Structure formats: structure tokens, C-alpha cells
Copies of this chain bind each other. A is one copy, B any other.
Amino acid sequence: MKREQVMKEIEKIGKEVETEINKGQNPHLEIPVRTLSNIEFDKDKKQLTLGERKSKRSFMNVAHTRKFMQTLMVGSFCHDLLREDLHTSLRDMYYALKRTIPGTKDNTFEEQSESDPCVIDLETMGDFLREEMHLNADVRGRVVGNVVIKDRGDTVNWAKLGSGGWSIPSNVEEIELKTVEADYIFVVEKNAAFERMHEDKFWREQNCILVTSQGQAARGVRRLVNRLSTEHNLPVIIFTDADAYGWYIYSVLKWGSMNLAHVSNRLGTPNAKYVGLTMSDINNYDLHNYTIKATEMDMKRAKELSQYPWFQKPEWQKELELMIKMKKKAELEALSSKGLKFMTKEYLPAKIERKEFLP
């Protein structure tokens, strides 16, 4: 969405409130419900989505008054950001809006945990991303590949950035993807593996765009992968540790996350496939001496994953059963026991060639 459009959407919310006040009515906001009971897995779209239920937040209800005021303050702040064309973080916004209400001892906000949910409320009401309201998210992740972008007037070639690669910013909405020459996008959880793959010219040999999420993917990474994949029709391959945490990273990149179900269509990438590490790899590549005992938390999370509707596929159920039975997990680095280039020159090219993916 363009800046002017987002501004108009915010204005619309404000004008509806104004109209109610002018009519002497109790002003209110209608906000889509984001609790688990209103989150659905859409089998056609292959995404977590929000249902239809909405809740009312009205000014004249004492239980709502504070939140009502806070939501309008956040809306107004974001409108200012857009008008002045500035970007900032959730934390800065909290400080910028915190003040003592004249004539009282009450602060507008006491904790950032009060202002953050207002942002998601506005995101769901207006159907835009918080990045489109110029609120930046946490930042993590880097990328290399045959891609040229335009960003703030600079032309940046991701193929010519030395060992560092391009830092994925928190907000990739305004980046122009000028030329994208690649057969697919490869996302690896860990930066150490990214550096080895970069050094071994994996992305040149495979003609792919190589991304590391550096742990759970931040919104910038998710949105960038989504944009590259949808705007340039590129398949996505994901590579994480064989543990519940790694597989959840895959889950979020592909299907979206529960707390951001309202924007799965722009942060998720339903066509993504999983290349490894799998529990079967431990058997197939004889990595038994390089596994780690699963903790109780690992086991609990593996059991949770096995219940999610989007993991109800025979291939994943088999892997999750193996994990629960073996009580083990394995890291990407376990492949280094076969030699430092085994991952980049044998394991990955062979699996990709054979299309040995989990869905």
C-alpha cells in the first residue's frame, strides 16, 4: 500500500469516531478478534488467517476508555510519521507518546506492552502492515545473490558485497527489486552455515538467492522472502536444525504465525519447501554420534508441532514421530563431521537435485 493510502485508511478510522462524537453518540472502534478462537488454518491458501469476529472498543465503557484513547493516540502518531515521512521503532513510539495527562497523575502509557497491541489493532483494522505505518521491527538477517535493488536512491547489487552481504533492514516495503536473476530462494537458519555457503560460492553454483534469518525470522526477512517469491515467482527452500525450534522457524516462514495471522498473506510464503535437517538424515548420513539429547522442552514442543493442522502431512508426521521416539535433535553443524564442504558440495546439491523436500 502506498503512503497516501495508509494515511487515508487511518483518517477513515478517525473520521468515523469524529462523526459519532458530532452526533452525540458513544464513539467506538471495531477491531478484529485475534484470540486463538478466531484464528483459522485456511487449507486453500495454506495459511493461518483471522476469522470474521470483531469486538467493539467504546469510549464510554470504563473498561475500554484507556485503550480507546491509546489506540487513537497511536493512530495519530503513525499518521504524523507518514505525513513527515519518518520511520521509527515501537520502543521510540512508546516514549514519544508517554506523558502525564494534564490535571491527573495518570500517564498515557505505563509500559510498551500497552502501545504495542494498539499497533496490531490498527494493522488488523486497516489491513496494512505496521511497516507501512513506518514502524520498524526488529532487525536480523542478511542476503546475497544476483539481485539488484534500489533503496533510498542507492542502487545495491547483492552479488557484490564481499563477505558481509546485505543487511536486511526492518522495513523492506519501499525497496524496489530492479533485477532478480535466480532460480530459487534458499533460507538458512544459521549465520555460520550462511558464511560457509557464501565462501563456497553455493549461491553462484546453484543460481539462488541466499538468505540467513539468524534464528527465528524477523518480519523484514519474512517480508523480503515473500516479496521475492511472489513478485518474481521463485520457489523457496528452507534449511534449519533438526529440532522443534528449527521446524517452527520453517512453519512461520511458510504458513505464518499465530500472533500475526492477520498478515500471513504478506509475511508467509506457502510455496516454501523444507530440505533439511531431518531426523531421517541422522540415519541416512550416520550422524548418530553428532546428535544432542532433546530436553523436556524440546519434547513438549515437538508434540505440539505434531498436533498443528498444518503439520498433518505424512512426511512431517513421520519426522515428528522419529524425533519423539529418538529423543534427539541435530544441528546443521553436525554435517561438518563429514568435512567442511560436505554440506555445500554434497548434501545440499544432491537433495535439491533429487527434490528431496518435505512439504
Q: Which residues of A contact B (CB under 8 A)?
A: 81, 86-89, 91-96, 98-100, 107, 136, 138-139, 142, 149-156, 160-171, 174-175, 191-192, 195-196, 199, 214, 289-290, 331, 333-337, 339-341
**Is the Cβ of A88 less than 8 Å from the Cβ of B168?**
no
Residues of chain B within 8 A (CB-CB) of A165 are: 167, 169
Known contacts A89-B333, A151-B164, A166-B167; 11 further A-B pairs (Cβ under 8 A): A86-B341, A95-B334, A96-B340, A99-B289, A107-B289, A139-B191, A139-B214, A161-B167, A162-B175, A169-B195, A170-B191
Question: For the complex formed by this chain, how many copies does it contain in all?
Answer: 2
**Is the Cβ of B199 less than 8 Å from the Cβ of A87?**
yes
Chain B minimum-CB-distance residue to A136: B195
**Is the Cβ of A95 less than 8 Å from the Cβ of B151?**
no
Residues of chain B within 8 A (CB-CB) of A192 are: 88-89, 91-92, 136
Residues of chain B within 8 A (CB-CB) of A149 are: 162
Residues of chain B within 8 A (CB-CB) of A168 are: 164
**Is the Cβ of A336 less than 8 Å from the Cβ of B164?**
no
Q: Which of B98, B139, B154, B171 contacts A290 (CB 8 A)?
A: B98
**Is the Cβ of A161 less than 8 Å from the Cβ of B170?**
no
**Is the Cβ of B160 less than 8 Å from the Cβ of A340?**
no
Q: Enumerate 22 A-B pairs (CB-CB under 8 Å) in ascending A order.
A: A81-B340, A88-B192, A89-B192, A89-B333, A91-B331, A92-B196, A92-B336, A93-B336, A95-B333, A95-B337, A96-B340, A98-B289, A99-B289, A136-B192, A139-B195, A139-B214, A149-B162, A152-B162, A154-B160, A154-B162, A162-B169, A164-B169
For the complex, what is the distance from the CA of A167 to the CA of B100, rounded to whole Å? 40
For the complex, what is the distance from the CA of A139 to the CA of B336, rounded to whole Å? 19
Given contacts A96-B337, A195-B87, contact A166 B171 (CB under 8 A): no
